[in-house]
Amino acid sequence: MSDDAHTTTADQLVFQSPVDRYPAIEPPEQHQPEPGLDAEMTPMADLGEHSYRGTGRLEGRKALVTGGDSGIGAAVVIAYAREGADVAFTYLPAEEEDAQKVARIVTESGRRCVPIAGDLVDPAFGPEAVERAVAELGGLDILVNNAGKQIAVESLTDLTDQQVEETFQVNILAMFRTTRAALPHLAAGSTIINTTSVVAYQPPPVLLDYAATKAAINNFSKGLAEQLAPQGIRVNTVAPGPIWTPLQPSDGQPTEALPEFGQSTALGRAGQPTELAPAYVFLASPESSYVVGATIHVNGGMPTP
Ligand code: NAD
Ligand code: MG
C-alpha cells in the first residue's frame, strides 16, 4: 500500500486543504465477489497505516470492532491501536488475507490484536465474538458495530427474500445481539459506536434493503443511547458518505457507477477509510463525555437533516 499514489504518508494532523488531501479517484470499472478484498482494490484505499499518529487518547482501552479487516473498520482498528488500545476485530473467513495484514499493523504498533473469523448471518457469532474478545483482551470497554452488507439491485422485483434477510441479519439484527452480549462486560465509561450511513436519509433506489437497515440503526442507536446513558454507557453513530472500500466494487454499486463514485460530494471526491477514524476515536474517548445519541456525519459535504 505504501507505494500506491492514493495513500498518504502525511501525518493526519498536517494542515492542508481537504479538497486535495486525496486525489479525486476515478476507479476503473471492476468487480470482486462479495465480500471483496482490500488487497484487490484499484486504486488501493488508505487505511492510515502510514499516516495515523496516535496521541494517547485510548491508552489501555479494550475494543471490539466488527468488520475490522478492511475499509472503515480496518482504519478504526489501526487508529485505536495507535491511540493505545488493544483491539479484537471480526472478519469473514474469505477475508483472511486482509485480516492478517491489519493484525500485523496492530501488533507492529505495540498493541495486542485478536482477529476473530465468522459470519454474522449466524445468530451465535456476534455473542461468541464478544466472549472471545473479553477472554483474550481481559475485558471490553469499546464496541464498534461496523460490519455491513450492501448489494445493489436495480428493481424490487429482483430483490430476493434471501438478500433482504441476510442484509438485515448482518447490518441490524447482529447489532442487537452483539450489543446485548457485550452489555454485562461494559463498565460505566464504556462506549458503543454504530456505523450507519448517509443513505439512512437519502435512500438510493438501488439500495432499498441496505438503506432500510441504516435507518433502523439510527433509530436503534438513539433509543439505546437513552436507555444506557444513566448507566454511564454512551451510544453514538458515525454516518459515512461515499468511502472507497471493498464494499463498493463487490456489488455495493452498479459497476458502471464506480468511476464517478463520490464525485457528487461538495469536496468532489470519495472519502478514504482513514478519514473516518478520528470520528470513531473521538466517540470512544472520554473527551466526548457529553456526546450521547449523536450522529457524526463524515460525508464530504452531503446535506443531512
Ligand atoms: P468493507 O467491505 O471494508 O467492510 C465491511 C465488512 O463487513 C467486511 O470487511 C466484512 O468483514 C463485514 N461483513 C460483511 N458481511 C458479513 C457477514 N455476513 N458476517 C460478518 N461480517 C460481515 O466496507 P466498509 O465500507 O468499510 O463498510 C463498513 C461499514 O461502513 C458498513 O456498515 C457500511 O454499511 C458502512 N458504510 C460504508 C459506506 C461506504 O461508502 N463505503 C458508506 C456508508 C456506510
Ligand atoms: Mg472486508
The predicted model scores a pTM of: 0.97
Q: Is the CB–ligand 1 distance for residue 169 below 6 Å?
A: no
Report how far residue 236's alpha carbon sits from residue 233's, in angstroms, rounded to the nearest whole number. 10
Crossing angle for the helix pair 208-228 and 161-168, nearest 10 degrees?
A: 30
Structural domains in the chain plus CATH codes: 51-298 (3.40.50.720)
How does pLDDT run along the chain (305 residues), one tens digit per residue? Answer: 333 545 666 788 999 999 999 988 899 999 999 999 999 999 999 999 999 999 999 999 999 999 999 999 999 999 999 999 999 999 999 999 999 999 999 999 999 999 999 999 999 999 999 999 999 999 999 999 999 999 999 999 999 999 999 999 999 999 999 999 999 999 999 999 999 999 999 999 999 999 999 999 999 999 999 999 999 999 999 999 999 999 999 999 999 999 999 999 999 999 999 999 999 999 999 999 999 999 999 999 999 99
Cell numbers that stand for 150 in this block: 450492501
Q: Return d(Cα 185, Cα 45) in angstroms, integer.
A: 34
36 CA to centre of ligand 2 in angstroms: 6
Return phi, psi of residue 182, to 5°.
-75, -30
**Closest by alpha carbon to 64, among 125, 1, 12?**
125
Helices (H), 138-294: 161-168, 174-182, 208-228, 277-284
Among 22, 210, 280, 290, the active-site one is: 210
| Cβ proximity of 75 and 47 under 8 Å | yes
First to last CA, the chain: 36
Name beta bridge partners: 191. Answer: 142, 234
Ligand 2 mean position, distance from CA 15 (Å): 30
| Cis peptide bond N-terminal to 273, omega within 30 | no
Nearest atom in ligand 1 to 244's CA = 41
